[in-house]
Structure 1
Amino acid sequence: MLTIRKATCDDVFVAWHIRRASVHAACAGHYPVAALSAWVDGTPTDKWASVVERDFYVAADEGLVVGTGMLTVANGQVDAIFVRPSHTGRGIGRKMLQFLEALAGHHGVATMRLDATLNAAAFYRRCGWSGDSVSTYRTSRGLELACVPMTKRVAVEG
């Protein structure tokens, strides 16, 4: 059974691994391999660990972490929706996104936003997100990648 929980310091390396594997598997046909490697290869930094501990959630299937997601409540930004390649197509990304949308509503965030990779934009549209224009996403390492900025209004509790 899939459960979603707040990430802890024990999830830093598995979240890094899932991100790397997911990007290389899902984005390969949409971006140059060298750009993907520059984006996700290497080892997690202390800054990465802090972000995981502060803003990440993980999806676990019978104890195995199989997906990640991140919500920055201050600005409604969704990031890091990654699913272990061996577990894609099982609705894990959709469940994580729904969880983050509910969490945003609980925190009074009415409009959420994200920057979709070119391969993921159709997935987000199927989940009710809007956005068609291609823009540039700058990674924390300074790499520039084409992305699709997207938004979604969510119901606010209360």
Structure 2
Amino acid sequence: MLTIRKASSGDVLDAWDIRKASVLAACAEYYPEASLSAWVDGSPTDKWASVVERDFYVAIDEGLVVGTGMFTVASGQVDAIFVRPSHMGRGIGRKMLQLLEALARDHGLASMRLDATLNAAPFYRYCGWSGDAISTYRTSRGLELACVPMTRGC
């Protein structure tokens, strides 16, 4: 049975590994390989660890961390919804998104926003998010990737 809980310091490496595996599996047809490698290679920094501990949630299936999601209350920003490739297509991303949307409502936010990868934009539209224009997402390492800014009312 799938459960979702607030992430802790013990989830930092799992979150990093899921992010890397998910990006390489799901984004390969939409972005150049060199861009994807630049985005996910390396190892987690202290800054990454603090963000995971502060803003991440993890999906657990039979004791294994299988998905992540991040929600920053101050900005209403959703980010880092990633699912282990072995668990993709099972509704884990949708359940994570629903939890993050509920958090936004609980905090009294009027709307939420996210920057979807090109491959993920149809998923978010299916889940009720709006946005079609292609923009540029800049990673913390300075890499620029095409994205679709999206919003949803709470």
TM-score, with structure 1 as normaliser: 0.97
The CA deviation at 1:74 is 0.2
Deviations along 1:84-139, one digit per CA (max 9) or x if unpaired, are 00000000000000000001100111200000000000000000000000000000
2:130 maps to 130
Deviation at 1:23, TM superposition (A): 0.1
RMSD: 0.4
Distance, in Å, in 2 between the alignment partners of 1:4 and 1:106 is 16
- Corresponding residue number in structure 2 for 1:152: 152
d(CA) in 2 for partners of 1:30, 1:109: 32
Following TM superposition, by how much is the alpha carbon of 1:63 offset from its aligned partner in structure 2, in angstroms? 1.1
- What is the deviation of 1:62? 1.5
Identity value in percent: 81
Residue correspondence of structure 1 range 7-18 to structure 2 within 5 A: 7-18=7-18
SS of 1:75's equivalent in the other structure is coil
Query: 1 CA distance for matches of 2:120 and 2:74?
Result: 24
Aligned match of 1:48: 48
SS at match of 1:98: helix
Which letter does structure 2 place at the counterpart of 1:90?
R
Match of 2:93 in 1: 93
Aligned counterparts, 1:32-111, within 5 A: 32-111=32-111
What one-letter code is carried by the residue in structure 1 that aligns with 2:39? W
Unaligned regions of 5+ residues in structure 1, if any?
none
Letter of the structure 2 residue corresponding to residue 88 of structure 1: M
Question: What are the Cα deviations for residues 30-60 of structure 1, in whole angstroms up to 9, with x where unaligned?
Answer: 0000000000111000000000000000000
SS across alignment from 2:22: helix
Count matched residues.
154
Runs of 4+ in 1 over 4 A off after TM superposition: none
| Distance in structure 2 (CA, Å) of the matches to 1:13 and 1:109 | 30
Aligned to 2:21: 21
* Whole-Å separation in 2 of the counterparts to 1:134 and 1:60: 33
